[in-house]
Amino acid sequence: MQVLLHKIPEKYLDRLNEPDNGHIKKALKGLEKEPPEGDIKPIVGQPGHFRLTIGSYRALFRFENDHIFITHLDPRGQVYSKKNRGGKR
């Protein structure tokens, strides 16, 4: 599977410092393996949506055909509140 990032998480990742950026990119590469690697759990109340824990960061994603689509990437305390704003990120 191929991991694709929405433009907002991609910009956020580019702005992070090098250690965090590298750590997150390595974790996202783990999603490409069969089966996907990492601390992955379904999001309650959001069928087909999952979260990946990467240290103090969370990546929210869904599977689409042969792709994993990263929709949100933020620190743990912020990712869910931004997600629930109805996509106004």
What pLDDT, in 10s, does the model give residues 66-86?
Answer: 899 999 999 988 887 765 544
pLDDT for 82 equals 60
Tokens of 20: 């965090």
79 domain-assigned: yes
Count of domains forming the chain: 1
Q: What is the mean pLDDT of the chain?
A: 88
Residue 34 to residues 37, 43, 50, 65: CA-CA distances in angstroms? 8, 21, 16, 14
pLDDT for 71 equals 93
69 domain-assigned: yes
Q: What's 60's domain CATH number? A: 3.30.2310.20
For the chain, what percent of residues have pLDDT higher than 90? Answer: 73
Q: Which domain holds residue 48?
A: 2-83
pLDDT for 66 equals 87
User: Is the peptide bond preceding residue 36 cis, with omega within 30 degrees of 0?
Assistant: no
58 domain-assigned: yes
88 domain-assigned: no
Compute the distance between CA of residue 89 and CA of residue 2 in angstroms, rounded to an integer: 24
pLDDT in tens, 28-62: 999 999 889 999 999 998 899 999 999 999 999 99
